[in-house]
Amino acid sequence: MYPSPVQVSDNGYEIPKGAVPGMRVPARVIADQELMVQISRDQSLQQLVNVATLPGVWGQAIGMPDMHEGYGFPVGGVAATLMPDGVISPGGIGFDINCGVRLLASRLTRAQVADHLETFVHELSRSIPTGYGRHGRLELSVEELDRVLGEGCPYVIGTLGLGLPEDLECIEASGSLPAADPSKVSLRAKQRGRDQLGTLGGGNHFLEVQEVETIFDAQAAGAFGLFEGQMTVLIHTGSRGLGHQVCTDAVRTMDSSLGRFGIELPDRQLACAPLSSPEGRDYFAAMCAAANFAWSNRQVLAHRARMVAARTLGDCGEPRLELVYDVAHNIAKLEEHEGRRLCVHRKGATRAFGPGNPELPPRYRSVGQPVFVPGSMGTRSFVLAGLAGSEKVSFASCCHGSGRALSRHAAKRRVEGHIVRRELESQGIVVRCPSNAELAEEAPMAYKDVERVVDVVARAGIARKVARLRPWGVLKG
């Protein structure tokens, strides 16, 4: 029998260190009773306990309220390892390195765009390749791809001209991690990524056209440039096949070098190496390059969305789309927390720095970092602002979505795609997704309640609610 988590606060459960042999720190889940019941239905708690056995793991392994079963790490898992010799685990970042979310805000309202909304979504679906086939791709030369990997968004904006200079300060790390080294990215990874910049990808990746439905915090919303009734565009995607291959390469390398480091693991997918080792350093450099690729991918997609807006919404008013923020939710970052240098793994978790953090752009510094929590397809998404207390609770990490509650198979058993499509359309949501099966897999009923998830992180002192967004149009990869 696996140990049951003990409730330690209104929004916290814990499996204490020692409950399972090999645990080096406690495993803590930020959840209320209802979410804890849902979380306990799959293998995610066991996966979180496995994470708590990693060499060098510090403080506690943390599960977010949207946590669900993954591979190695649970999705919605956060773990920090103490530098210099703590490990880095590619499975703690995931195959989709720097999968993340970018929010663009217009100055237009529903009343202004109503007659052009369907055209806007349709043209977006024509201009934004989902990633299969060869339509609409931005093919890069070997040199250009290396510069995207090494320099990220400053190169994409400054040299390729795909964006505005002012975008940079509103991207986590300005869309460029200095530790990136393109020479550590394999030729195979570059082959996979060469024609994928500016593609959405499949699975749960999507682009959504939305309306700001409710403002909860006027001060923060003002700082983020959000107002009620406003049209926004949210982009959710990552590093595509390039990032997948970087992870595949590193898991293979680290799996075969575990014996040399004397590391024993409860799950091979947790393969890891000390960050101070050549294997750890090489992976970190490649992961940072893949992260630069992902930020660049969202930058190119945002550029395309801006072009479509300019083309189709010009008669409605000023069609400009301003970048609110872009933040990763699959990444490892070297950060200082309470005086310690840590490698913070966020696997399906969003960084949530509180007010005053010097990494934030000056205009957000007094309110905290924007955090985006997309709901499932067709449900509300949330904009939050990081709180200072997040550092103590979760190494400044927040949930990244509503979190799956049902497997893809279970969702398809319960609902048919054409019914999901009809229900979304009956709510006035324009849907562009060629596959009914994928619609069923991503149906709202397959996910936890995003409002409940967001309320838990707010009560836990991680982030406060700023705005709620209602979907108008969905474009699925």
Q: Residue 265 or residue 430: which is nearer to another protein going by CB?
A: 265
By CB under 8 A, residue 244 contacts another protein = yes
**Among 383, 381, 385, which Cα is nearest to 472's?**
381
Strand-pair partners of 332: 345
Q: Is 400 a catalytic residue?
A: yes
Q: At 363, is the secondary structure helix, strand, or coil?
A: helix
Q: Is 86 in the site for another protein (CB under 8 A)?
A: no
Query: What's the token pair of residue 301?
Result: 């997609």
According to the binding rule CB under 8 A, does residue 248 interact with another protein? yes
Distance CA(101)–CA(295), nearest Å, equals 9
**Binder of another protein out of 28, 29, 31, 42 (CB under 8 A):** 42
Q: Does 66 bind another protein (CB under 8 A)?
A: no
Stretches 94-102, 140-148, 163-171, 272-280: which one binds another protein (CB under 8 A)? 94-102
Give strand pairing partners of 473. 209, 430
The answer to whether residue 203 forms part of the interface with another protein (CB under 8 A) is: yes
Least Cα distance to 460 among 44, 7, 5, 31 occurs for 31
Contact between 292 and another protein per CB under 8 A: no
Q: Is residue 476 within the footprint of another protein (CB under 8 A)?
A: no
User: Which one-letter DSSP state was computed for residue 315?
Assistant: G
Task: Give the binding range for another protein (CB under 8 A) out of 63-71, 145-153, 226-234, 325-333.
Answer: 63-71
Among positions 29, 87, 96, 305, the unique one binding another protein when judged by CB under 8 A: 96
Of 169 and 267, which has the nearer Cβ to another protein?
267
Residues in contact with another protein, shown as a per-residue x/- string from 437 to 466 under the rule CB under 8 A: xx----------------------------
Residue burial 284-309, b: 16+ Cβ < 10 Å; e: rest:
bbbbbbbbbbbbbbbbbbbbbbbbbb
436 is an interface residue for another protein by CB under 8 A = no
Catalytic residue among 68, 400, 409, 418: 400
Tell me if 404 contacts another protein by CB under 8 A.
yes
Q: Please provide the DSSP assignment of 285-314 as one string.
A: HHHHHHHHHHHHHHHHHHHHHHHHHHHHSG
Place of tokens 């720095």: 353
- What single string gives the DSSP state of each residue in 48-110? HHHHTTSTTEEEEEEEEEEEEEEESEEEEEEEEEETTTSEE-GGGT-SSTT-EEEEEEEEEEH
Gap between the Cα atoms of 476 and 437, Å rounded: 12
Query: Segment near another protein (CB under 8 A), from 51-59, 320-328, 370-378, 430-438?
Result: 430-438
Minimum CB separation of residue 8 from another protein in Å reads 25
How near is the Cβ of 258 to another protein at its closest, in Å?
A: 10
Nearer to another protein, 270 or 385 (CB): 270
406: contact with another protein by CB under 8 A = yes
Helix axes 240-261, 278-312, angle to 10 degrees: 170
Asked if 133 is part of the footprint of another protein (rule: CB under 8 A), the reply reads yes
E strands of 300-414, at which residues? Answer: 322-328, 330-337, 340-347, 350-351, 370-373, 381-386, 397-398
Q: How far is the CB of 260 from another protein (least distance, A)?
A: 13
- CB nearer another protein, residue 42 or residue 326: 42
How many residues touch another protein under the rule CB under 8 A: the total is 47
Smallest distance from another protein to CB 369, Å: 26
Figure out which of the listed residues 56, 86, 154, 241 binds another protein, where binding follows CB under 8 A. 241
Phi, psi at residue 30, to the nearest 5°? Answer: -95, 105
In whole angstroms, what is the distance from residue 322 CA to residue 299 CA?
Answer: 12
Is position 410 an interface residue for another protein (rule: CB under 8 A)?
yes
Strands 381-386 vs 463-476: parallel, antiparallel or unpaired? antiparallel
Q: Give the pairing of strands 57-71 and 27-30.
A: parallel
Minimum Å distance from CB 2 to another protein?
15
3-state helix, strand, coil in the chain (%, to 5): 40, 25, 35
The CB-of-307 to another protein minimum distance in angstroms stands at 24
Q: Which of residues 172-201 bind another protein (CB under 8 A)?
A: 188, 191-192, 201
Tell whether residue 152 is a contact of another protein (CB under 8 A): no
Which residues are at the interface with another protein (CB under 8 A)? 42, 44, 68-72, 75, 91, 94-96, 131-134, 188, 191-192, 201-203, 241, 244-245, 247-248, 251-252, 255-256, 267-269, 271, 404-410, 434-435, 437-438, 477
Active site members: 400
